[in-house]
Structure 1
Amino acid sequence: MNLVNKQYLLASRPTGEPSVDNFRLVETPIPALVDGQVLVRNHYLSLDPYMRGRMNEGRSYAEPQPLNQVMVGGTVGEVVDSRSPQFQVGDQVVGMGGWQQYLLVDANQRGVLQKVDSSQIPLSAYLGAVGMPGVTAWYGLLKVIAPQAGETVVVSAASGAVGSVVGQLARLRGCRVVGIAGGTEKCRAVVEDYGFDACIDYRQHPEPQSLAAALQAACPNGIDGDFENVGGTILDAVMLNCNAFARIAVCGMISGYNGEPIPMRAPQLILVNRMKIEGFIVSEHLPLWPEALKELGTLVASGQLKYRESVAQGIESAPAAFLGLLKGRNFGKQLVRLI
């Protein structure tokens, strides 16, 4: 086929904020397939905050992204060549295809590709509401926070791919849901499009006490559950309003991704309020994915679960789109369209 694959490699590890100079675009010829291999043309690449952590060399829950190798990332696409009986040309698949136009894999590796059906669910949604972000929201809310009808749940980064799903799932279970997001437009969408009861613009409350006061007004019965994506000042303000036996699902700590210190101002509240604070990594709970995806897929197909996408065009746009994601410039799920 004489195809050439454009790929982004991690060229260097960032010190502080990453830049486009940390990435390198290369062109690699695609070899002829051998028995058992499948070639996928990636249609969409998912950009996610976890990628920032993997760019570092330090200890974390996952191995660091190796230098001079294709950046890790989820993809959806179409099989364009196959030497495997498990996949036919034209099959639509989701996998960890990375920052590249094509993915050449051994289809005998278990779980490396999963077939998906885009007849009722858009293909891109398998990287968002019906993919890893959606399952992250589902697991953190249902298995860590475990909300009861009538309780109040707060969601930071509420307009994002994960936070927006958390709030909608909590509302479906009879909770009062309060979001925290950056900017008037995002807060409006959180309430009007995603159905949250209220949303607080953290940009208007740079100090914990100010944000805590805004949360107190929006959560008159206190906070029973918090889905935490940010940490830092936001988590401090939430903790000041938590009820006894509150549960906090720690999904991310965006405020410290570039090495900033994120001290907890009042850790004594964990004891005073007998709080549960639990971090989780959704890839460690694969047995629950089918249950989560069944509910999420049904809700998206029926129009009950809303989602929004920010789509950058072309593989060349990936680094700038990723840096924008880290600064909150995206609205909803950040994708790169590769076709």
Structure 2
Amino acid sequence: MVSAPQKLTTQELANLAVKLIEQAGCEYGDIRLCNYRTQRLSASDRSLKNLSDNVSSGFGVRVLLDGAWGFAASHKKTPEEITRIVNLAVEIAKGSRLSQQKPIKLVPVAAYQDKYVTPIEIDPFTISIGEKAELLLNINDRLLSYGEQGIKKAYSFLRFTKEDKVFASTEGSLIEQTIYRSYPGFSCTAIADGDAQSRSYERSPLNIGYEHIDKKDLLGNIDRVATEAIEKVNAPQWELDTKTTLILQPTNLFLTIHESVGHPTELDRVYGYESNFAGTSFATTDKWQKLQYAAPWINLVADRTQPHGRVLWLMMMKVYPPKNGMWLKMVFSMII
């Protein structure tokens, strides 16, 4: 009788990789084993437009051998493949060393053994597809109820992700992470006099469960969004020589801050590691405590401990000079 081969757990595979890296004589090495699930639903007008539920899985190994990096990856999580990929990473490190001018030396770090799971109330993947689709079609139906006033198109969506990751290193670290994200939103388009204008509403994507899909909030914004789209398409044409005051909502600054502050302060760009892919950075280390982004009263804060935050939370606070004896303060926040 032939028995099936014993399947190792993710932690056992991670420990195997670390052991093989150490046996190869590397001064450092690590492995990341990942499993990603992404579910997307979208509705256009009164029909479900898209439904996908995808799972991707794999692992990556990096080693530091004689001051040179070697990387390799695979989608097969088996002991045999772990062994092959570690050996491949070692060989790539040997090849990299041939053209390397200066050996890489890492700063010693403490070992961490920990586990983190996003605090959620409702697992979004336990909610039926039917219930999710019904919500989207209900939103669109209410938007299209403004058809006589000009709303001709409606769109709504739900997106959910779950990331399971295990990290292990030759330093002795073993870290497990399970991260959930939820993201709902909708939009509508009004048509009048040969013109089309849209308005939308989104609950910002957060690391949180299905409780983020607040039906009361989503349905409660339908009338406002539809009305604003109708007002927008019927608004008078702007005269170029007319002057007025333009009020920008905080959301207008999201992408500006993301691009001008978020990306330039990524260390791989600062040090030029991405110069052949996504550009370099003007915020280099020689400008530390010299480069001024904006006025002195503007503060930018990166805090990854913000509840439900995604990758990076940026907050900009602007304090205006006194007017009539009172200070005016505006706070803008975003999630990258």
| TM above 0.5 | no
Greater CA radius of gyration, 1 or 2? Answer: 2
Q: Quickly name the TM-score band, shorter chain normalised.
A: under 0.3
Structure having greater relative contact order (Cα 8 Å, sep ≥ 6): 1
Larger strand fraction of residues: 2
TM-score, normalised to structure 1, is 0.24
